Amino acid sequence: MKNRVITISREFGSGGRTIGKKTAEKLGIPCYDNELIGQIAAQSGFNENYIKDAGEYAPGGRLSSALWNRAFGPTNEDYLWKIQYKIITDLAEKEPCVIVGRCADYILRDTADCLKVFIHADMKFRAERIVKVYGERESSPEQRLRDKDKRRAAYHRFYTDMKWGHAQNYDITLNSGTLGIDRCVDIIASLY
């Protein structure tokens, strides 16, 4: 019998991570998010910050990869992808859980009984939220959001060939800006 797993993809600043954590708490199951990065770091030997970044760049999306001709073999990102794939598959096999980000929906498409969730919100909601949560940066919050969205979509597209944010890829998508974070948690938990 397959474990029941909830995967949460999310736009940056939409509160998807918070929704994942709260849902997991409500259901009494673990939530994997930054923990995943730690595990990938331990198994790959790469630095955690590098892995965080690599999870948002499609190969070719930054200089190191752009200079690397893929005809010579896999990139660092490809190597990380394989480790990530294995870790997520193992987690889902071990116990019911919530997994935030890292293309878990795609990775588990055949191996787990998966509720696939996507969380998004409009620019204004997210801009206010990232300034509150992560503080001010040199570039405007809107610029940071556009940049992150573009990178996540490209990464997702590269490794999964699925269009990020397309309703058809998920069981449910929720606008945390209009519905509110707690309501999103209630709905997801009720579907478990």
| Residues at the interface with a copy of itself (CB under 8 A) | 118, 120, 165-168, 170-175, 178-179, 183, 187, 190-191
| Beta carbon nearer to a copy of itself, 69 or 168 | 168
Q: How far apart are CA 9 and CA 40, in angstroms?
A: 18
| Beta carbon nearer to a copy of itself, 69 or 190 | 190
Burial of 168 (0-12, 13-18, 19+ CB in 10 A): exposed
Q: How far apart are CA 184 and CA 115, in angstroms?
A: 14
C-beta separation of 8 from 101 below 8 A: yes
Nearest distance from residue 77's CB to a copy of itself, in Å?
26
Q: How far separated are the first and last CA of the chain, in Å rounded?
A: 16
| Beta carbon nearer to a copy of itself, 40 or 100 | 100
Nearest distance from residue 133's CB to a copy of itself, in Å?
21
| Beta carbon nearer to a copy of itself, 3 or 173 | 173
Nearest distance from residue 17's CB to a copy of itself, in Å?
17
